[in-house]
Amino acid sequence: MNAALLETRGLCKSFGAIEVAREIDFRLERGARHALIGPNGAGKTTFVNLLSGLLRPSRGRVLLDGEDLTSLAQAKRVKRGIARTFQINQLFHGLTVLENVCIAVAERLGAGGSMLRPAGRRRDVLAEAVGLLETLRLEDDAGRRVHELPYGRQRLVEIAIALGLRPRVLLLDEPAAGIPSAESHIILAAIATLPRDIAVLIIEHDMDLVFRFAQRITVLVSGAIYAEGSPAEIAANRDVRAVYLGSAADA
């Protein structure tokens, strides 16, 4: 069996007496299309925060391709290849869409701190940023400030930034959150264009999106893994249905 690309071993996190992550042993394979679901408060976002470095675990380890990342801060993990989107957009709202993506690309290329040449002369950064916007069909909004865009388009910018980092692992925290379900197909289309070799972990409540996207599903309840398997297995699992999907999801 191949070694997993991203792995956690015995990952635990408590805030005082409250345990938000309990002995999580998780594996994300190369090229995975993996979904993380669970009831509200199950600790899904906390888990992603632990993976991306926003939170330090109380115990346990996070490994990327065998390398122990547990003590590394967010920015260092990004350099190692982990990128994420946030449940609530974290964008540079006063800047244009193109500038937002350029910042991410420039950082990845190591040009973010360069002080001598003007940013405008870095045609490589510009070209790559424009390419990303075209992939996500955002090029018409390239010159508009983010705060002027409708929320759904902002969500796409969030994904564009993460892609600009050319990650090996992409963590999407509720990418369709706040978007009316009639428009969520845009997000699904964007996710479908993701390069095949990236491992993608998606947190979602929109079951439609989950079952169309995922090859593998993990169910998190009260900070611990409750069940794991293929979409068919999870859909058929009565305990999962009881704790989360509810009897209305008989299909």
Interface residue list for other proteins (CB under 8 A): 52, 73-76, 78-79, 83-84, 86, 90-99, 102-104, 106-108, 111-123, 125-127, 129-131, 133, 139, 142-143, 161, 164-165
> Is there a contact between 109 and 172 (Cβ–Cβ < 8 Å)?
no
The token duo for 126 is 């510009």
Q: Which among 21, 6, 4, 103 has a CA at the least distance from the CA of 59?
A: 21
Distances (CA, A) of 21 to 6, 15, 24, 69, 142: 17, 10, 7, 17, 40
* Shortest distance (Å) from residue 57 CB to other proteins: 18
Sheet of 59-64, strands arranged across? 18-28, 6-15, 59-64, 67-68
Q: What angle do CA 149, 104, 128 make, to 5 degrees?
A: 90
Q: How far is the CB of 211 from other proteins (least distance, A)?
A: 28
Both tokens of 63, joined, read 């490994």
CA atoms within 13 Å, Cβ hemisphere of 214: 29
Residue whose CB is less far from other proteins, 64 or 210 = 64
Backbone phi, then psi, for 240, in 5-degree steps? -65, -45
Cβ-based neighbours of 209, under 8 Å, separated by 6 or more = 176, 184, 187, 188, 202
Residue with tokens 């244009």: 96
Q: Which is nearer to other proteins, 162 or 219 (CB)?
A: 162
